[in-house]
Structure 1
């Protein structure tokens, strides 16, 4: 069966745009290294929202020595006895480094809260202290950019089913994923509280409408590049789609219209 020529054109257009953005990312990394800068990007979101794929597109042509992707697993019994932020502090970028957290300390505001993996007191302590913690990091010279990837319930269901049937994706299936649809409403409530209470001036949230993976990749990278300073920036290719990239308002305000 021959391919739809329009589909092929769309694919090649995506590849062309992505290549230009990846060239900009290389420029950015050169600036980070030469300027001894420290950049931390936090990616949170619904299960199956596309964090792994987005990170792959960001890091594909970057130096692995100065680019660190952090995806911490379940804390050990020793780590459970530590200050909550302690194991994440060890992963923060040093001078000249770019770190991406594939999930982060915001596990406490999301999956731990919804699944009962933390106490109510632990949750409240986290919510009361995370803004101050991030403020200290920013004041120390770390630029923090936070993204929440959001998808609707139908799209999530389709992606979960794809994981079950695609042998290359089955490593992604987890018991937590199995609860994503059943606890959809609880995750929505936890998400809204997190965005309302932790979108600070120093470290605001940006919500990404991630129903389209390709639009997610292109627009998130454009937004990321537009937020950081580096030499030779090509501003004309960094315009984002406002239906995909939705900055969160200040603390206490309602987040953008999200999937409920």
Structure 2
């Protein structure tokens, strides 16, 4: 018998059957297995540049909260990494996220679009997203994204942007189905995806590896060229970290 990240016993069809029954309180818990909410860093206003001098960064780089061996971090896991950007980019960002984490959604909506335009699309940054679900609903969201295949990142984006419409609602299963149908899923492919035991096990393996090997205990957690940063980092702070590495 499998168990969820909260220790609840789950059957082989759990990622599907548990969606309608799980409580809103459990789904909206903090993005941390410690039960403490991981607050995003405060936005710091940009200071005006002095005349005839380059513009000052909007924020200073936050202090890293540890480091990991990049060679170990980038070793293949249970699922192939989903990445954007060039393999030979000077900077590699690995994000561990949970689909039901509001701070992850905040980052996806407010920081990631500019990060992608400024750094990923220009070949400066390689970005890798890894699954770190804290509950069965987050597992289901990631499973649907994996089943979307080449549309993994668009599906993740939609699920983050629509988070309030499917997380903690009265019937999460139906809400997810409606979103999935817009992405081309049928009722059959939706249920087939969410009852794929191997996929569920692999998603959990990615989460377990992140926790055991790289000490991920909250989301979002970012590894930027081996340095660890936690919380929904702003684009100004992200720039302050990345720019010296280029």
TM score, norm. by length of structure 2: 0.30
Q: Which has the higher contact order (CA 8 A, sep 6+)?
A: 2
More helix by share: 1
